[in-house]
């Protein structure tokens, strides 16, 4: 029996007739941060969407907390404790910051007050609509929304993409604090210099397959060059 909090086994996924995942295996232990790496189009977002049960599977299994959740719809997976910060942020543009946060709320230690304390900017902007926020503030709101669901696993898909360096730093600091607070993380991000120091392990995807598993210190220049084009 596994001690993993989340486990993906042999994922195969199609978009119509086109196969996107050809066998993805991945495991996230409690309190662990896993970096999901790979060049553009290799299947990172598809893997994340499959874990969150937003994407139908052709073959494979998704486990969470010792339970087979392959057949569950995404809202049930979210309820079990998988919180997603999706690529592109996706907040409700016409709702205020606080309305966005409250709409996501589920019982647990992450309350509106705690999220506002964690990201003071969200308290300062409480009554503004999400549409009027800067990119960095929208990203904080997207993370805040996911925290309001009181997840046990937080999944971040390109959380720092397109942000100014100073805001990016703030987001990485926040992610580091969440890790230290014991939250399990699955993170996709292009900024390896920030991501790798935070990661306990890495999984590299190449053409829809997990082709390399290891710790950040195992990532040799050859592996980086071969799979990440660095
Ligand atoms: P990126 O870093 O560019 O976001 P990624 O590693 O997250 O890439 P995915 O977005 O998961 O990769 O894409 C994996 C493959 O599936 C790609 O070949 C992509 O073109 C294809 N794909 C993704 N979404 C769809 C879709 N909705 N319909 C058809 N094909 C898709």
Q: What per-residue confidence (pLDDT) applies to 96? A: 96
Q: What per-residue confidence (pLDDT) applies to 3? A: 83
CA-nearest residue for atom 2, ligand 1, is 40
Residue 20 beta carbon below 6 angstroms from any ligand 1 atom: yes
Tens-place pLDDT, residues 143-191: 999 999 999 999 999 989 989 999 999 999 999 999 999 999 999 999 9
Q: What per-residue confidence (pLDDT) applies to 120? A: 96
- Mutation probe of ligand 1 site: the residue of 20, 22, 186, 210 with most atoms within 8 A of C-beta: 20
Instruction: Please tell me the pTM assigned to this model.
Output: 0.95
Instruction: Looking at the CA of residue 87, tell me the nearest atom of ligand 1.
Output: 4
Q: CATH assignment of 1-81+153-162+184-230?
A: 3.40.50.300
Can you give the three-state secondary structure of the chain, one letter per residue? CCCCCEEEEEEEEEECCEEEEEEEEEEECCCCEEEEECCCCCCHHHHHHHHCCCCCCCEEEEEECCEECCCCCHHHHHHHCEEEECCCCCCCCCCEHHHHHHHHCCCCCCCHHHHHHHCHHHHHCCCCEHHHCCHHHHHHHHHHHHHHCCCCEEEEECCCCCCCHHHHHHHHHHHHHHHHCCCEEEEECCCHHHHHHHCCEEEEEECCEEEEEECHHHCCHHHHHHHHCC
Residues of the chain with pLDDT under 50: 1
Return the domain boundaries, the chain.
1-81+153-162+184-230
| Other Cβ atoms closer than 10 A to 169 | 13
Instruction: Looking at the CA of residue 42, tell me the nearest atom of ligand 1.
Output: 6
* Direct distance between the N- and C-terminal alpha carbons of the chain, in angstroms, rounded to an integer: 37
Q: What per-residue confidence (pLDDT) applies to 111? A: 97
């Amino acid at each position: 029996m596994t001690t993993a909090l989340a486990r993906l086994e042999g994922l195969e996924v199609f978009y119509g007739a086109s196969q996107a995942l050809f066998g993805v295996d991945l495991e996230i232990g409690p309190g662990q941060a896993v970096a999901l790496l790979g060049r553009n189009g290799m299947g990172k977002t598809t893997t994340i969407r499959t874990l969150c049960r937003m994407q139908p599977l052709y073959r494979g299994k998704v486990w969470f907390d010792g339970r087979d959740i392959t057949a569950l719809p995404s809202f049930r997976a979210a309820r079990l404790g998988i919180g997603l910060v999706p690529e592109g942020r996706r907040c409700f543009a016409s709702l205020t910051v606080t309305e966005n946060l409250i709409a996501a709320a589920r019982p647990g230690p992450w309350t509106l007050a705690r999220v506002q304390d964690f990201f003071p900017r969200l308290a300062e902007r409480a009554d503004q609509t999400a549409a009027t926020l800067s990119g960095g503030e929208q990203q904080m709101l997207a993370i805040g929304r996911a925290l309001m669901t009181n997840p046990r696993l937080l999944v971040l898909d390109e959380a720092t993409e397109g942000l100014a360096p100073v805001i990016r730093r703030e987001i990485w600091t926040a992610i580091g604090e969440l890790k230290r607070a014991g939250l399990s993380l699955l993170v996709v991000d292009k900024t390896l210099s920030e991501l790798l120091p935070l990661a306990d392990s890495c999984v590299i995807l190449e053409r829809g397959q997990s082709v390399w598993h290891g710790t950040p210190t195992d990532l040799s220049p050859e592996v980086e060059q071969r799979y990440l084009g660095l």
